[in-house]
Each structure stands twice: as structure tokens, then as C-alpha cells.
Structure 1
Amino acid sequence: MIDADTTVFDEMESNVRGYCRAWPTVFTTAKGSWLRDEEGKDYLDFFAGAGALNYGHNNPVLKQPLLDYIAGDGITHGLDMSTAAKRRLLETLRDTVFTPRGLDYKVQFPGPTGANAVEAALKLARKITGRETVLSFTNAFHGMTLGALSVTGNAAKRAGAGVPLVHAAHMPYDGYFDNTTADFQWMERVLDDTSSGFDRPAAVIVETVQGEGGVNVARVEWLRHLADLCAEREILLIVDDVQMGCGRTGPFFSFEIAGITPDIVTLSKSIGGYGLPMALVLFKPELDQWSPGEHNGTFRGNNPAFVTAHAALQHYWADDTLQKATEAKGERIAAVLGEAAGHFPGITTRGRGLVQGLAFDDPSQAGKICQVAFERGLLVETSGSSDEVVKLLPPLTVTDDEIDRGLQVLTGAIDTVCTGWGRLHHRGAGNGGERA
């Protein structure tokens, strides 16, 4: 743990830092699903860089190609110049991801973050349609830049903008009303009523699973209905797959389960493979109406990330092995979480694939459970509008033994906070981390 003599973080780093407050230690190394701190204590990582480390820490499948590339003086910074590393990535993306799924997308490299990708997508949608408004949904999170904040639902994050967040409107996400059949009635009515005062939007942006919003999972039927609604009214559909893409829910794209084809898709986080910054905007060819240089960014050509992204696609997405494993692991976690929820009132479960959550009627319990879990060697975070959800985002490469170990710690933490169950079912669990 950080002691009283370790003050450089407090002295020099901004108060804006957040995760270090929940996990007050100094990490030094990481491997697979584990991190180690300065005192040699190991922590099982069910956070995975907020979804940026789907393939784990320092994955050797990705590390060796990166080391070879650097040792061979490969291009590091390339802006949007053509490089051999970019060519390999584009070819692999086409052959491994697009073609098997019947997708025909152009690829844009914006700046290296998810917010960069969202900003580019919003800008492109407005350019194509000539319209200004973008619809998003309650509890949505799309990034911290001004455009991305305008389509984000969280009031605390929006307040940080310091200026009015305009040209956006929010609609109820799936399940927002108790009667889920009513979810689209308001949206359809105002879009079709010429006297509603509601102008036709340029686009709708949606997460198929709202991670930061509380692991809210949209039904397949709801996603299909949304896609049809947009197509019938010539509104572009943007799927934000920054956190839920790259296999987090099982399939490579989270929207595959619904059988829809978005007009625009944003990717970041794990698309770089190794945790290296990289983002993509994918869009149908007829939407490629950019003029050269009209949207750019200094670090849109991160070639080391192209190398590790290529290696990840080639190794993990040549077949459906990883997808099936992710789905099976998700079911394994969901079963234990469901058992935990069944033993305590005021707890519900939610999730898809390897994004799973426990929602608490008493939001304070979620934060306490995460704190106890950290003390016992497990990293999990809260999400939701009131931080009422304990969210699990383990690497997709996590082993079954690591899942069991993490769930032992988690259920032990639930028992400590909520009392009465974990000791009976997972006796002796969670007394400290140790790498398998």
C-alpha cells in the first residue's frame, strides 16, 4: 500500500485521477490476468483496463511481434501515410473480420481513443445528412470530449463540460420503462409528427450493452426494432462498440447477435490488442464523403498498435474458438452471480459474455464490495448512474481456475458486506492474491 512517505502522486498529479483512489497501491508488473504491486502482492484483474486488455497483460502472442517490429526499426509514427504494418492490418481486418461476416466497411483511423472515434462518427453523420441532432439513450456513455459528452447520459460527467451540450437528444434505453413495449412509442411518435417540434436527426448512437451505464443489456428484438426505425426514416445508425467490441460479449462485434448492420461502427480499447492506443471508425462505402485531410489527428497512425492488432486478429479471430470460450465463461460467471443474488434481497444480475454485473438496490453496497475485493486481491469496479453495479470485465483469455478464484473472492466480499452467504458456499475464499 502507499504509505505516508509516498507523496509524489499527491504532490504532482492532478486531483482528476480516479482509479488510484479505489486501488491505493503502486503496481509494477502484469502478466495475463494478474497485476503485482511494489510489495509483491498479486491482484487478479477483473477490470482489464476498462476493456482495453481483452487479451490480458503482456500476452506473448502479441508481445513478440511487437518486440520484433521495434527491434527491426519499424515505423512508429506514421500519421496517415501508407506503411507495411497498416497494410497487414487492413488485409487481416478484411479477410478475418469483414468478409466472414458479410460486411463491407471503409476504415478510418481517427485519433487513438474511443472518444476520437465517436467525434469522427458524429461529424461524419452530420456531414452526410446535413442535419444536426444526434439521438442517444438514457445511461449512455460515449466519451469525455464535448461531442461525446453531448450524447452521454450521466449528469456528473456532462456537468464537467462547462458549456451547453447541444444538438443531441436522449431517448429511453431498452428496459428504461417497466413496460418495455413502450420504449419506442415516444421516439416513433415525435419523429413522425410534423408538429412535434422535433427535427429529424442525423443519426442515432447506441451501445448494445451499456458498460459504464450499469451493464444494461439491450434485447435482440429492441436492437432490430431500432435498426428498422432508423432505416425507414433515413437516419444513420451508429453502434459504439468501443468497450463491447473485439469479442467482449462473445462475437467480434456486439451487434452480431441481432443480425443488424450499422451504418457506422466505432472501435477502440482492445482493437489495438496489446493495450496500445488505437481507434477505428467503420462505415458503409457510400458514406465515405470525407475530403482529404478534413478530419485528422497526429497520432492516428500508431504503427506498433497496427502490429499487435494484426497479431490479435490473426491469432484469436481466424475461427470461433475464442467466441465460444467467452460465451461459456460468461455463463459460468453468470451462474455464480445468479446464485449470489438468489441468497440476498435487493440484488439482481445482468450481462452478456464476459461483461457481467451485480446490481444493488443499496448502491453503497457495491462500492464496499469492490473495496473488500481489492483488499483480498481482486480488481473490480462499480458502474451505473449511482455506482450501484459491481461490474466484471476479466480478460477474454482468463482461465477457468482464475474465474473460480475471482468468484471466490467476490462472493466472500459479498458475504462480508451483506452477511450470511459466502462463508457457507466458498469457505476460506479471498484472503489475498497469488498468481496461479
Structure 2
Amino acid sequence: MTTDISADKSVFARRESQVRSYCRSFDAVFDRALGAELFDTEGNSYIDFLSGCSSLNYGHNDPDMKAALIAHITGDGIAHALDMYSSPKAEFLETFERLILAPRGMDHKVMMTGPTGTNAVEAAIKLARKVTGRSNVISFTNGFHGMTLGALSLTGNVSKRAGAGLPLGDVTHLPYEGSLGEDVDTLAMAEAMLDNGSSGIDAPAAFVLELVQGEGGLTAASRTWVEGIARLAKKHGAKLIVDDIQAGIGRAGSFFSFDEMDIEPDMIPMAKSLSGFGLPFALTLIKPELDVWTPAEHNGTFRGNTHAFVTAKIALEKFWSDDAFKDEITEKATVLTDGLQRIADMIPGARLKGRGMMQGVDVGSGGLAGAICAEAFVRGLIIETSGSEDEVVKVLAPLTTPMAQFKAGLDTLTDAASSCVETKIAAE
């Protein structure tokens, strides 16, 4: 007998932990998704501007990936292989090498980690400490790198850090670009502190940073600042770790968020849209000279998801064989900027943040941003906030969203913002 969940959602409150969060913003039971749309059990449809927090850059249920996965499963293909050799892994690695690494002159090794982004970050900082013999790691204000203890120590958000239940040490948090105001040169500050033997900062094993801060409010670092941090890391014998878990795979405009910058990251944690289909899959790219692991020194039961290898290969071939998809992202990013500017123009002091298809508008308060997102949901749009105070309305639409549907979603967001602004003015 099947229970009609749409009629009674009490099972979630009765049995699911209080830690659940997204469902509190989107009070519906979803049961179907296609492209850039989600459908609930009551027949309502929603344009998706959240994309599984950038885990669905290619949208829901891409038909080519779905067909390949179904064929693999129905053909009794390998479902789980630990880190043994398999044909799907070989095909993924060969495709990744041919379409992503080789064109960029990158010779990084691919380290399969546990299936989530935080696993990839843990592997990177563990290896940096092993290679350098140092324990201190430099991260930056408003950064978010995961919820397991090592990655959480890099994360800046106080409420997330509080969940650790113990001190989070061996990390120095330096100010990200712009975090102390436009007039403060945080790169020069970092260099002065690291050059000063009495600053109290231990020699770092690594610098870990996002080039666009996903959860931290969509601050996008400039090329000058990023290249300066890379030089600083090299100067002090530290490894440069670029966390491309949310900003990568097209989200910030190209496959890697650093593609247009003159840097060579030593390690690159990747996850989220890596599988192309929303399947758990993470890896860390590491320069060959850093690949000093002994066999099984860092392991895990789910190192590499065989089903994800199948879909990731299709995603790479379908979207990254030429520049057509990148050009499409650029076009949509311009439309997104224009749409968000309309919202910013309604709100005194509001400003745009981010780059590529990873943009949002800082409306000045978490209350207003939350109200806009809530009103958008009522109107059929799923979107969330970002930032230390949840003050940024953050657009993470699938990169494959048809242009007409993308513009319709932006119109809905604009209408929601207008309604909330009018309500706010009336209340004042």
C-alpha cells in the first residue's frame, strides 16, 4: 500500500532530524523534475533557480545522461567498485584528460575522494600538510569549504563553526578581497603579515580559497588579487588550493573558475555538478609531484561513483567538446546581470555580486532577501539566499535553462522583489 505523501507531510516532522533546512523554505513535496523545472505532488510546477546548490548545472534528468545511465544499469554494469579499475572509470578519465586537462596544459593527477565536496577539501589540506610538513593553513573570511572538521576549520561562518563542538585550529583566516571595504588592500595586508616574523602566523602549508564565494555572499575576487595570492603562496612555500566545488564546471563562466587567470593551482577540489546528473561524485586534482600518497593512505568506501563516471563522461562530451556551451553561458550571464540590476535599482544601497551564472543582488538585509525568496516561491520560483547574514538573493539557475524560461524566471523574481519592496515601504 502506498501512502499519499502529498496529503500528509507529518512523517518529515515526525522522523527527520531538525537539521533539515531547505525544506523549511520550500514547503512542498517534490516528485518529478525535468530541465529547469520541479513538480510537486499537487501538480504545481516551479522554475528552479537553485539547481541543487549548483549540483545540477546541466539541469534535471538530461536525456543523454539518463539514457547512458539506464543502459549501464540494465546491462548489469558495475555499480560499485571501491577504487578498482573499471571501464566506466577509464572512459571518464580519458574524456576528462582529452577535453579538460590537455587543452589547458594541465598534468594534474585525479584523486578520487569520498563523494562530497568536503571530502575533496579534506584530502587537499591533508596532502598539503603531508607534503610541506606544516600544519597551518590560510583560508579567508566568508569562505565556505565544507562541514567535516578539517574543512569546517577553513569555513568562516560562525553558526556553522559552532556545530563542531570543539576548537577548530591550525587555520589562519585572512581577509578576502573587499571584506574590509574598498579602500583596504587585503592582498598587501596578507603579504605584510606573512613577511613579518612576529605577526604570529605560522608558515602555511596551503592557501585555500574560492574565486567566487558561493555561500559567503558571492564576492568574486579580481584577477589581480587572485594572482597576487598565488604569488604569495609560492613565495612562502605553501600550496595553492582553489576550491572549485561550487564555482567550477561552468558556473562562473568556464569549466574552471580560474580559466582566465594566470595561476596554476597545486590542488583543485571538485564536486557538485561533476557527475552532470546530480549523483554524488568528488575528486581532487593534484600536481604530479605532490602525489606522494602511499596506497590506501587516504581511502574510503565510496571513492569514485561508477554511475557518476557514466554520466560525467556524457556531460563532458555534450557540453565541453567546443566553446558553444561556454558562449551560451556568457550570453545568459549578461541577461542575468541586466535582470538583477532591475532589482537593485528598486532598493537603495543594493548592489550586484558574483560573475558568470553565479550572481546575486545584495539587498542589505537578510530579512528582505528572505522575504523576496519566499514571495518568489509562492509565484513558482525556487531561489535561495547567501551571505553571512543571508543578505544576498542568489541565482543558481541551470546553465542549460532555455532563454525564454530563464527570462521568465527573472521576471518572476523581479515581481517578487517589487512586491516585497512595496510591502516594506508601506510598513515604514
TM-score (norm 2): 0.96
The answer to whether the Cα contact below 8 Å between 1:249 and 1:327 also exists between their aligned partners in 2 is no
- Return the alpha-carbon distance in structure 2 between the equivalents of residues 153 and 225 of structure 1: 21
Contact residue 109 and residue 285 of structure 2 kept, 8 A: yes
Gaps of 5+ in 2: none
Q: Secondary structure at the match of 1:216?
A: coil
Which of 135, 138, 150 lines up with 1:135 in the alignment?
138
Identity %: 50
Give me the whole-angstrom Cα distance separating, in 2, the residues matched to 1:210 and 1:320: 25
1:357 matched to 2:360? The reply is yes
Farther off after superposition, 188-197 or 12-21 = 188-197
How far did residue 157 of structure 1 move? 0.2
Shift of 1:234: 1.3
5 Å matches for 1:9-408?
A: 9-180=12-183, 182-408=185-411
Q: How far did residue 340 of structure 1 move?
A: 2.3
Q: Specify the code of the residue in structure 1 equivalent to 2:123.
A: A
User: Structure 1 residues 343, 301: closer, same or farther in 2, change over 3 A?
Assistant: closer
1:260-293 CA distances to partner (integer Å, 9 max, x unpaired)? Answer: 1101000000001100100010011000010000
Flag the 1:337–1:2 CA change in 2: closer, same or farther, 3 A.
farther
Q: How far apart are the structure 1 equivalents of 2:181 and 2:5?
A: 46
How many Å apart are 1:6 and its aligned residue?
2.8
CA contact (8 A) 2:146 2:152 kept: yes
How far 1:5 sits from its partner (Å)?
4.0
Once the two structures are TM-superposed, the CA of residue 2 in structure 1 deviates from its matched residue by 8.3
After TM superposition, give the deviation of residue 301 of structure 1 in Å: 2.8
For residues 150 and 13 of structure 2, what CA distance do their matches in structure 1 show? 31
Q: For residue 191 of structure 1, what is the amino acid of its counterpart? A: L
Aligned to 1:424: none
Give the 3-state SS of the residue equivalent to 1:93 in structure 2: helix
More off after superposition, 124-133 vs 191-200: 191-200
- What RMSD in Å do the two structures reach over aligned CA positions? 1.5
Q: Secondary structure at the match of 1:161?
A: coil
Q: Match for residue 416 of structure 2?
A: 413
Structure 1: distance between partners of 2:423 and 2:296 = 61
**3-state SS of 2:258 partner:** helix
Deviation at 1:334, TM superposition (A): 0.5
| Alignment TM-score, normalising by the size of structure 1 | 0.94
Opposite residue 244 of structure 1, the aligned amino acid is: A
State the distance in 2 between where 1:197 and 1:5 align: 57
Letter in 1 for 2:144: F
Instruction: Quote the Cα distance in structure 1 between the aligned partners of 2:6 and 2:355.
Output: 39
Contact 1:174–1:180 (CA<8 Å) still a contact in 2?
A: no
Distance 2:294 2:184 in 1: 42
Change (3 A) 1:37 1:377: same
Partner of 1:425: none
Partner of 1:427: none
Q: Distance in 1 between matches of 2:117 and 2:38?
A: 24
Q: Secondary structure at the match of 2:169?
A: coil
Question: Quick one: distance in 2 between partners of 1:301 and 1:344?
Answer: 46
How far apart are the structure 1 equivalents of 2:193 and 2:293? Answer: 31
Number of aligned positions between the proteins: 421
SS in structure 2 opposite 1:255? coil
Cα distance, 1:251–1:2 mapped onto 2, change above 3 Å: same
Q: Structure 1: where are the runs of 5+ without partners?
A: 422-436
